[in-house]
Every structure is written in C-alpha cells, then in structure tokens.
Structure 1
Amino acid sequence: MIIGIDASRATREQKTGVEWYAHHVIENLVKLDVQNQFVLYCDKKPDDWLKKLGERPNVKIKYLRWPFKFFWTQGRLSLEMLLCKLHGIPARLAACLPVGRVGMAFAGMTKERPDVLFIPASAMPIIHPKNTVAAIHDAGFMQYPESYGRRQRRYLKWSTRFAVKYAKKIITISEFSKQELVKYFFIPSYSPPLKEGENLADKVFVTHLGYDATKFKVIENREAVNNVLAKYGISQPFVLSVGRLEYKKNTGGLIKAWTMLKNTPSSSSPGVGGGGHKLVLAGSPGYGWPEIEKLIKKNNLQNNIIILNYVSHNDLPYLYNGATALVFPSLYEGFGLPLLEAFACGTPVIAAQAGSLPEVGGEAALYVNPDDIEALAQAMGNILKDANLRQELINKGRERAEQFEWEKCARETLHILND
C-alpha cells in the first residue's frame, strides 16, 4: 500500500503544536512501518531531517513547487492528486483532457498514486483520494472567534467544514476536541448523507499526542541550564509561560494575575516581584498583542516580565528546567503540549481548568478557573512559597508524562490509515 502524507507543516522552521505533531507522527510512522510505501509531499526543498527520512527504502520525498505564498495544499497538492488519477489513463486520452497537456509538462506522469492520503492539518486538497484521513486539532476559532482575524476565521471554518464533509476519517488529539468537532461541525449541512445506523461521530478517532523524550527531560547539568538562561537575559528565579501571546492563551489574564501577585505583601508571597521572581513569556505575539503590551506598560511591569518571543526546541527544555513553575492559563486548548514537556522536565505546573488540559494533565497539575484572576494569582503564590506542593506536583508530573509517547500516537494513526 502507498501512503501519501502532506509533510508541508512538518518542515516549518518555527514550529508550534500542529507542526510538531506533523513532524513527530511522520517520523514515527516511517520508523514503525517498513511494509507500506510512503510518499511525503513538501512545499519546499527537503531539509536535513526530511532527507534522512528519504534515505529509507520505502520512503520517497516529492518537492512540489508552487509560485504562490498560500494555498499550496488546496492548489499544488490537488494538482498532484489529479496527476495521480491521470496516470492510469492512456497518454493519448490524457493529452485530450483540459489538464492533460499541463500534466504532461510536469516531470513525467507520477506513478506514486496513494492508496490513502494523510493530512496532518485540517486543510485538505480539493482533489483527493477517496481514502483521505485528515487531522483536525481543535475548534477554537468557533469558541473564541474574537481571537482570530476575519480572513483567518473564514479560512479555518471553510477548511474544517470541507474536511468534515469529504475526509473518510477524521483524527483529533483529545476527547475534548472530538466533542467540540461534533458540536460545531457534525450537522447535516456540512456532512455527507448517512447510511442507516451510521453515526457521524464514529468517523472521528482520538490519538493523544506525545513529547520528545530525547529533549524534554531533567537536565542535571545546572551550568548548562544557567548558560542558556543567561543567553536570554534571565538571571533571577522565574515563572515560565509557554505559548503564543494572545487573547485565547489568556496572556492578558496572566498579566493581571501577575500584577496582583506582585502587589501582594512579601509576608504572604515571599520572593515575588522586586528582586524576586520574574515572569518569562516564551512565545510569539499573536492576535490581540497590542492590548497585552498596553496592559504590561499600564501596570509598570516592563522590568518584571521578560518577553522572549519564539524559543527553539533546543533551548526550551533548559527554560523548563530553570523555571520554578510553568503557568498555562489558556482559555482553550485542543491538547496542551507544554504540560507534558514541563512534566518531563520536572517542572510543577499550574494549568487552566479548561478545554483539554484536565484530560492531559490528569492529577499532575494545579488547576484554576482561567477567568478567576484572583485564584490564578493565589495559585502562583502558593506554588512559589510551598516547596512540598512543588515536589508533589513534580513527582506526579513525571509519572503522567510517561503515559504519552509519539510512538504510541503514530501506532494508533497507522492503524487508522491501514483499516
């Protein structure tokens, strides 16, 4: 069997959740399965990681050029799927078709017609095999539309509706996300006609994510940790927050809670503010960043908050290891990878009682209502002053992290693709 995979998201230089999902699932799929053939379609010249995968005898990399910045999947990958269909047509007949001569102009008629096409992100090609499996990670743009620009929101709605209607199977990354997809999208106007006794939710499969255990782990070399912290200008104890700086991630709520904590008398929260802990935000500015920036200035937190923007996966484990705690107060998450990464690094976690986070964190995190600023401030204060609480969360976190593996995620994905 030939399995085609859209690898465009896996080769992005700056990766967040969806990109890391594509990267690790593809990597583990080709390691696990030596029977099937894989064709990995990419929108730029293969990087070293992809070239290494391409050295395997059952893996082929196809670089599909596209002159435009957007719509590579809907445009260029669709064309490739069309050429795959034309391959079985006699050359004379194919040349008579509207796209026949264009197809012949490409580097030969492609022979790698996939039996199943896997799309790690929800954007499916318009032209696709009947057996297409798409991964849809969440429906945050439906729950929090104000967190997205108008064009982005329209595109996400359209691409998700298209995937729900035309994909043979849908993969999502948590039971919470499955419930959200069923709630918002599995209605007759978006979906194909049902057979008697068929349930739309039955086409949605949950595969929990994993984390990179080779990178995210307890680092015993404190000098190495301190060197990376110094690289980012961090010299004091700190609380870490990882994720895009935007409304949906509740960055504004975190800033307000940090302001409240900073103004708390030192007798109840020692070491916070002034010469004590700082708040480190590791993430790129997102939708609503100007308002967040104004909030920082309004509360005179410029010297108490360190903004790092995007941090590479090579450096991120050192930040987790150096932090007193991770605070992740997001209003909505399809999964929440930073929880697993922090658990694996031995970092206690404060997380929002929202979205998929309780499903992922289990009993290993300290949960708060993300809308309750006072409760969030109190949780941070408690974790900073209570060493026993921190150690309890560290122990539970390490046990929890062991339950999530990329290999397991890939194995479950392979079963879905093969079925």
Structure 2
Amino acid sequence: MSRPPVFAIEATNLTDERGTGIGRYTRQLIEALSALQVPPQAEFKLLQLCKRSRWQLRDRLAQGPRLSSRCWWGPIWPLPRPSCALLHVPDERQPPWRVPTVATVHDLYAALNINYTDEKKRQRKLRHYEHLRDNCARLVCVSENTRQDFLRLVGGDPARLKVVHPGVAPEFRPHTADEIQAVRTRHGLAGPYLLFVGSTPNKNLARTIEAFAAGRFGQDYTLMVCGEHSRTQGEALAARLAELGLATRVHFAGFVSDTDLPALYAGAAAYLFPSLYEGYGLPILEAMACGTPVLASDRGSCPEAAGGHAAIADPEDIEALAAGIASAVAMTPARRAAALAYARTRTWEATARGTLAVWREALAR
C-alpha cells in the first residue's frame, strides 16, 4: 500500500495572542480534518506549519491525531524542507515552496476598499489576490458571494474557485440559565440585552446605535457592544450616546474571550449583525446555534449565511434597521427552532470533507 499523502496547512495565525476570525477558521478546520473518519484507502496526514519567528509559541498550535508540526522560514532555508503533496494557505503567510497550493479566500475587503485606512496595506492585499489567482491550483471561497466577488473584481478561472462554507463549533449551543447568569454577572448585565460584536467600519455600529434609539429599545434593553474601539471611536460614540440620552443603556464590553462569547449569544434577546459587507458572516450562524434570533443585513453574503432564518434589513436605512431589530426580538419560537436546526447542519466536519475534496481535485489535475 502506498503511503498516505501529506497535506500541509500554514497555521502561524494560531500563535496570535488574541484569535482573529481567520485564526478561528484555521484552528477549527485543522481540528476537524485531524478528527475526520475516512476509509483506509483515503487516509492522509496533516502537517501544521509555523513560521520560525513564532516557533517558540508552538504550544498554541492545534493538537490531534494524524497531525504533526514543523517550522518554516522564507526562501532561504538551511534545513531540509518537509515533504508534502499539497500546501493549504488560509491567510497571507505562504511558504515559498513549489508544490500544488490551495488557498482560502475569506473576503474582498481590499478590492472593495472596505476597512482599509492604509493604502500601502490595501495594495499589498490586492497583489495577494492576484497571486492567488495566478498561482493556486484551487481556491476555497467561504461563500458563493465571495466567489462571485473574486471573479468580478480579480478574475480567474471559475472552475478553480470552489465554495466550502465554514462550520459552527459545538460550543455555540443553547445554554442553561445558570451558564447565562454566570456570564451576565461577569459582564455586569442586569436586565435584558441586545448583542453587537465588532469594531471595524463594516460592522456598522454607528447606525446600529441610531436604530436602537429610533426604535426606543433603550426602554427595555441594554445594547451590549463587544469589540475593541480606538480612543477616537470611543469618544465619538460616547458623545452621540449622550445626545441621544442613551449613555447608560449602551454597555461597551471591550474584548470578549471566545470562552464567554457563546453564553453571551445565548443570553441575548437578539443578536444584531447589520454589516455593510461580509465574506461569509459566521456569527449569524453561531448566534442561531445558541438559539438566539438574529438581525442581519441584506448585503454581501449575510443573506446566504442566514439561509432565510434571520430578520433581514437594509443596513443603511435607520428605520429599516429599527424595524428589523423589532422583528428579531419578536421572532416566534417556531422560527427560532428552525434557525437552530439550520445552524446545526453547518458543521466543521462538513467543512473538512469539502476542503479535503478540493485538495484531492487539485492533486488530480
């Protein structure tokens, strides 16, 4: 019997002190692939790669069966390079090795000039898109919307772009009353609350606050905002809240750990996600998986992620957002149950199998 192929995944982002969305994607994908059950003839090995500069933090890398780890360092590499049949790149870090490569396309923020204040960084990202287009055997797109954006804004062979949706981790689930009360106590939440997570411009916090005020939700709810904001952002938001008379009705929690986030989802009266653009919008599904009704925008891939199970609104229309929040809060138990069932179908096992199929297709070229 021939030896199982070795598939390498660049995983340096797992060593970041605070995990990003792409870091969570990388970890969940690696762990799901590691645990995947396959017949003997389809067996494979996983090689987790980490840049030499972060190798001292390798204890943060994923653990699991069929999984090993190695460091890498630039084009001048004095040690033998690990042998692999294929390399998967989930972000911009890429070992300069001549092997078939698959990359994940998460979004087209740079091409749409969203969330970028540094033009040099934006141009670098645009060049990265072009590099992926020209050098990868296959591209994994996290949504059909992202796939269409890539083809429209960057170009390439449509047959090489494959959609594989991310999954929902098992910790996103309905929580007990005691679990919810514990996280509420830690964050000083005394009454009913609406939840908002994010700090980048596309998350649309300023309009969310305006809609919270327009719908008079402050009479019954606190708006809990998770995410780190700059001093300038914080001062502008505080001034506007004072003008609206909502200074005591909006709670800025700052950075919230992944440990607390599922219970915060589960305890919220509704999760607000009126994003101006998303590559996928996984938090929509994570909130649904916790049994929480969701308000999502009608932009980007948000409707695709929601699958018809969220209240949908125009994110630039304050009155529409206020009506959408009201609709989410009033969502019937039957609709909430349907949303929960839908979210449970989006598993990381399915993501792993879809990704593995793309790898095998890339090798069969």
Same fold, judged at TM 0.5 (above): yes
Q: Which has the larger radius of gyration?
A: 1
> 1:379 and 1:139 mapped to 2: Cα distance?
26
> Which residue pairs with 2:193 in the alignment?
238
Q: Is the 8 A contact 2:215 2:323 kept in 1?
A: yes
Match of 1:38 in 2: 46
Q: Which residue type is aligned with residue 188 of structure 2?
A: G
Asked if residue 9 in structure 1 is aligned to residue 9 in structure 2, the reply is: no
Q: Report the CA distance between 1:362 and its aligned residue.
A: 1.2
Alignment partner of 1:61 is 2:61: no
Residue 121 (structure 1) aligned with residue 63 (structure 2): no
Give the corresponding residue for 2:279. Answer: 334
Q: How far has the Cα of 1:223 moved from its partner?
A: 2.1
Alpha-carbon shift at residue 146 of structure 1 (Å):
5.8
Q: Is 1:140 the counterpart of 2:109 in the alignment?
A: yes
Partner of 1:352: 297
Letter in 1 for 2:352: A
2:308 matched to 1:363? yes
Which segments of 5 or more consecutive residues in structure 1 lack a partner in the other structure? 65-75, 84-102, 192-199, 263-271
Q: Could you tell me whether the CA contact under 8 Å between 1:246 and 1:286 is conserved in 2?
A: no
Q: What is the match of residue 336 of structure 2?
A: 394
1:294 Cα deviation from its structure 2 partner: 4.5
Q: CA deviation at 1:46?
A: 4.7
Specify the alignment match of 1:278 in structure 2: 222
Q: 1:313 aligns with which of 249, 258, 283?
A: 258
- Listed as ranges, the matches of 1:41-52 within 5 Å are 41-43=49-51, 44=54, 45-46=56-57, 48=59, 50=61, 52=63
Amino acid of the structure 2 residue aligned with 1:24 = Q
Q: Which residue of 1 aligns with 2:350?
A: 408
Deviation of 1:52 (Å): 3.0
How big is each residue's C-alpha offset from its partner over 1:267-295, in whole Å with a ceiling of 9 and x where there is no partner? xxxxx324x20101112227983554543
Aligned CA distance change for structure 1 residues 143 and 397 (closer, same or farther; 3 Å) = same
Query: Is residue 173–residue 289 contact of structure 2 (8 Å, CA) maintained in 1?
Result: yes
In 2, Cα distance between equivalents of 1:303 and 1:51: 41
Listed one character per residue, the Cα deviations across residues 66-116 of structure 1 (whole Å, up to 9, x for unaligned) are xxxxxxxxxx3x33xx64xxxxxxxxxxxxxxxxxxx2xxxx423x22221
| CA deviation map 1:185-206 (0-9, x unaligned) | 01xxxx6xxxxxxxx1111111
Matches of 1:391 and 1:144, distance apart in 2: 39
Indicate the residue corresponding to 2:127 in structure 1. Answer: 158
Match of 2:288, SS state, is helix
Query: Matched residues in 2 for 1:145 and 1:395: separation?
Result: 34
What is the one-letter code of the residue matched to 1:402?
R
How far the C-alpha of 1:343 sits from its partner, in A, is: 0.9
% identical equivalent positions: 27
Partner of 2:160: 203
Structure 2 counterpart of 1:109: 80
1:178-217 → structure 2 map (5 Å cutoff): 178-186=147-155, 200-213=157-170, 215-217=171-173
Tell me if the contact between 2:273 and 2:294 (Cα under 8 Å) persists in the aligned partners. Answer: yes
C-alpha change, 1:156 and 1:399, in structure 2 (3 Å) is same
TM-score normalized by the length of structure 1? 0.77
Match of 1:99 in 2: none
Distance 1:150 1:368 in 2: 31
Instruction: Report what 2:204 is aligned to.
Output: 250
Between the two structures, name the one with larger relative contact order (CA 8 Å, sep ≥ 6).
2
User: What is the TM-score of this pair, normalised by structure 2?
Assistant: 0.88
Inter-partner Cα distance in structure 1 for 2:303 and 2:62: 38
The correspondence of residues 75-114 of structure 1 with structure 2, limited to 5 A, is 76=73, 78-79=74-75, 83=77, 103=78, 108-110=79-81, 112-114=82-84
Rounded Cα–Cα distance in structure 1 between residues aligned with 2:146 and 2:44: 30
In 2: Cα distance, 1:288 partner to 1:136 partner:
31
Q: Deviation of residue 344 (structure 1)?
A: 1.0
Code of the residue aligned with 2:342 in structure 1: it is R
Instruction: Report if the CA contact (8 A) 2:168-2:344 is conserved.
Output: no
Q: Tell me by how many angstroms 1:12 deviates.
A: 2.6
Change (3 A) 1:131 1:119: same
